Structure 1
Amino acid sequence: MIKRNLLVMGLAVLLSACGFQLRGTGTTELAIKEIDLSARNAYGETVTQLRQVLDSSGVKVYTGAPYKLVLTDEQETQRILSYAGAGRTGEYQMNTVLNYSILSHGNLTLMADKLEVGKVFIHDGNNLVGSDQEAADARREMRRELVQRMMLRLQQITPTQLEQLQQTAEAKAKADAAALEAARKAEADTPRQSPIELPRQ
């Protein structure tokens, strides 16, 4: 019996070291339970996949949720790394940068950051169809990695941190409003100069 328990414990430690976690256990639970998700490309593959992963993680995704995740911009770039014989391109480096922000009540910005992933793929000038397919596969892998990294970022936000971010955002909003009101008051209290009347000739 003791040997069996030790074996089970050993397997559990081994699996957790490999990154495996049983459903409903571990630290994959998000502090944000309800979220609104939007993107510049509302029907893009990145936002669609992210919505599916959030939903499968037990997060309610709907318009008007207490928190909002905005994918503000997604840009892809690529450059040539090396050349093959006869001047044909050999390797491409493809990068994707995803800028995002998390908003709370009153559209206050709690956090703004970016994620970046990269992938190298081979381009064969003699096999354009195959090269296009490899580029498409690289884009799919990068998109999956972006979604995984976004989920990891969300998982790292604790309830305590969420509360601190909310307090900081509210304090900043109050300070900005007070500064704007002070500027308006100063402008209103400043006497306006009358136009100079020139003597008639």
Structure 2
Amino acid sequence: MIKRNLLVMGLAVLLSACGFQLRGTGTNQLTITELDVSARNAYGDTVRQLRQVLENSGVKVTANAPYKLVLTNEKDSQRAASYAGNGASAEYELTTVLSYQIQGQNHLPLLNDKLEVHKIYLQDGNNITGSGQEAALARKEMRRDLIQQMIARLEQLTPAQLEKLQQAADAKAQAEADAIEAARKTQEETPQQSPLELQDQ
């Protein structure tokens, strides 16, 4: 019985890693039906895989969507976490930080946030090739975790919440435009002294 359960769990993990999702087991409850998705690295793995996951979740990814998800920056870093006594191997901590922005109408920013994932892998000084493959695999797993986190963030956003954020952004943009216009009118109405008048003073 235990072996059977482990087999079923193993198959489920394998299928989910391939992007397949068993009916009734998915947690994606996206209320956003349309979304534009772009990134600074337009052909990067993260934005490409994110688009695929969104489409598999029933979201129409289109440039005509009322809201846009922009992956503004993706930064990878690595630091030594620990060293083995003989110096032949060491643990390294990999970190990826993904900054993103959700834009509404007129490209107004509605939300700015970031996601962060960490993973530790062992680098064997006697097996550079194998260690490099392990690091690459770790990065792939981290990217998958990032995308899952992004989907979870998007699940929390409803059309009503996005509309409220849009109204707040519109009000802020209007207030800034009014302030600029008021400053311009004040400058126009303020008498300007000529250079000759300034010299006489």
Which TM-score applies when normalising by structure 2?
0.82
Query: Cα distance, 1:158 vs. partner?
Result: 2.0
Partner AA of 2:107 in structure 1: N
Letter in 2 for 1:50: L
Q: Percent identity?
A: 61
* Structure 1 residue 137: Cα displacement: 0.6
The equivalent of 1:162 in structure 2 is: 162
Structure 1: runs of 5 or more not aligned: 1-20
Q: Deviations over 1:138-179 (max 9, x none)?
A: 100000000000000000112321221121111111111111
Query: How big is the alpha-carbon RMSD for the aligned residues of Structure 1 and Structure 2?
Result: 2.1
**Alpha-carbon contact 1:32-1:67 (below 8 Å) kept:** no
The answer to whether the 8 A contact 1:72-1:101 is kept is yes
Write out per-residue CA displacement over residues 107-144 of structure 1, whole angstroms, 9 at most, x where no aligned residue: 11111100000000001110000000010011000000
**72-81 or 160-169: bigger deviation:** 160-169
Look up the match of 2:120.
120
Q: Which amino acid aligns with 1:35?
A: L
Question: C-alpha distance in 1, partners of 2:162/2:25?
Answer: 22
Count matched residues. Answer: 179
Cα offset, 1:22, TM superposition:
6.8
Q: Which residue of 2 aligns with 1:134?
A: 134
Contact 1:116 1:146 in 2 (8 A): yes
Paired with 1:22 and 1:130, the residues of 2 have a C-alpha distance of 33
User: How far apart in 2 are the matches of 1:26 and 1:42?
Assistant: 28
1:1-201 maps to which residues of 2 (within 5 A)? 23=23, 28-196=28-196
C-alpha distance in 1 between matches for 2:151 and 2:80: 31
Q: CA deviation at 1:190?
A: 2.2
Tell me, yes or no, if the aligned pair for 1:92 and 1:123 is still in contact at 8 Å.
Answer: yes
Gaps of 5+ in 2: 1-20
Contact 1:82 1:89 in 2 (8 A): no
| Alignment CA distance shift 1:44-1:26 (3 Å) | closer
Which one is further off, 147-156 or 162-171? 162-171
- Matches of 1:67 and 1:107 in 2, distance apart? 9
**Partners of 1:29 and 1:160 in 2: CA distance:** 15
